[in-house]
Structure 1
Amino acid sequence: MGAAFFYHLTRNPLEVTLATLVEKSLGAGWRVEVRGRDDAQLKTLDAALWRRAGFLPHGIAGGAHDNAQPVLLTTGMGGNDATCIMCVGGADVTPDQISAADRVCILFDGHDSAGLEHARGQWKSLTDAGTEAQYWSEESGKWQMKAQHPKPEE
């Protein structure tokens, strides 16, 4: 059973944090779906992933080889049998999708009030549905877990 990991971005931009998490996910042997709501944002992330140092094999959904991509950027659902889903730009994920995945990461910009409110709503609806979740913040300069559901003593 998977869990949702919420990443509150306040220091590094989405492109940097996403690349780090994708690299770690590939290192764990997971196939990754980067799920967004905006084609323009996914194209920007695609370009950023190609520009970074180190090779991260990926593609944007709609190509002839979507199922062969270890990392697929999409506004839909899958196409590459991903076991790790990274939600960006307010993309939604259901409790059933989280349960079926090894991990789900929800990345949100702490400087965007609408994005912050959307993430809070996701946390509430997912944890109310019984989904395991962790909230991580980089506010102190390094990533720290600030909340967990269920709490360890529960």
Structure 2
Amino acid sequence: MTEVFFYHLQKQSLEAVLPGLLEKAIERGWRVVVEAGSRERLEALDAHLWTYREDSFLPHGTAGDAQAALQPILLTTAPDNPYGAAVRFLVDGAPFASAEGYERLVVIFDGNDRDALAAARDAWKRAKAAGHDSTYWQQSERGRWERKA
């Protein structure tokens, strides 16, 4: 069964949180798909992952790039898994369709956005109903992740 992680953003932005989570996935040797809710968001994340830190970058490609299959991280707006990724991140309103075929599915949502919060609640119910091991993480006052469920 797929592990489904829900990350409730409150103190930090997606741009602040996503690189660290992707680094952890890459350290484990996992291939990753990041599905964004829009092409504009995908392009912004693409630029950000190359420049988020002066001393580092995350090797990645975007769907349609000639060399995308060679990268450990694929950015896309499509729901498919063309390179057999073990982990899928859903960000910026990308819909929760299915967790099947992944070791881990990570839903990152903005807790200050009423629609994102409602979509995350719906995804939580669907993941639990499907029998997935689901955990919910929320940022503390200091911005650290705390497991809430």
TM-score by length of 2: 0.91
1:37: how far off? 2.2
Residue number in structure 2 paired with 1:75? 77
User: Given that residues 109 and 117 in structure 2 are in contact (C-alpha distance below 8 angstroms), is that contact kept between their aligned partners in structure 1?
Assistant: yes
Residue number in structure 1 paired with 2:108? 107
Return the alpha-carbon distance in structure 1 between the equivalents of residues 13 and 86 of structure 2: 24
SS of 2:85 mapped into structure 1: coil
Number of residue pairs aligned between Structure 1 and Structure 2? 145
1:116: how far off? 0.7
Residue number in structure 2 paired with 1:3? 3
TM-score by length of 1: 0.88
Residue number in structure 2 paired with 1:128? 129
SS of 2:148 mapped into structure 1: strand
Return the alpha-carbon distance in structure 1 between the equivalents of residues 83 and 96 of structure 2: 17
Residue number in structure 2 paired with 1:146? 148
Q: Output one character per residue of 1:9-67: Cα deviation in whole Å (capped at 9) or x when no partner.
A: 01111011110100000001100100122000011111111111212100111111222
Code of the residue aligned with 1:145 in structure 2: it is: R
SS of 1:136 mapped into structure 2: strand
User: Given that residues 60 and 68 in structure 2 are in contact (C-alpha distance below 8 angstroms), is that contact kept between their aligned partners in structure 1?
Assistant: no
1:93: how far off? 3.5
Code of the residue aligned with 1:92 in structure 2: it is: P
User: Given that residues 32 and 70 in structure 1 are in contact (C-alpha distance below 8 angstroms), is that contact kept between their aligned partners in structure 2?
Assistant: yes
> Which consecutive residues of structure 2, in runs of 5 or more, have no partner in the other structure?
none
CA RMSD of superposed structures (Å): 1.3
Residue number in structure 2 paired with 1:85? 88
User: Given that residues 92 and 109 in structure 2 are in contact (C-alpha distance below 8 angstroms), is that contact kept between their aligned partners in structure 1?
Assistant: yes
1:79: how far off? 2.3
User: Given that residues 6 and 106 in structure 2 are in contact (C-alpha distance below 8 angstroms), is that contact kept between their aligned partners in structure 1?
Assistant: yes
User: Given that residues 34 and 73 in structure 1 are in contact (C-alpha distance below 8 angstroms), is that contact kept between their aligned partners in structure 2?
Assistant: yes
Residue number in structure 2 paired with 1:152? none
- Matched-pair identity in %: 40
1:89: how far off? 1.5
SS of 1:101 mapped into structure 2: coil
Residue number in structure 2 paired with 1:52? 52
Moved over 4 A (4+): none
> Which consecutive residues of structure 1, in runs of 5 or more, have no partner in the other structure?
148-154
Q: Output one character per residue of 1:70-117: Cα deviation in whole Å (capped at 9) or x when no partner.
A: 10000112222211101002223344xx24212111000011111111
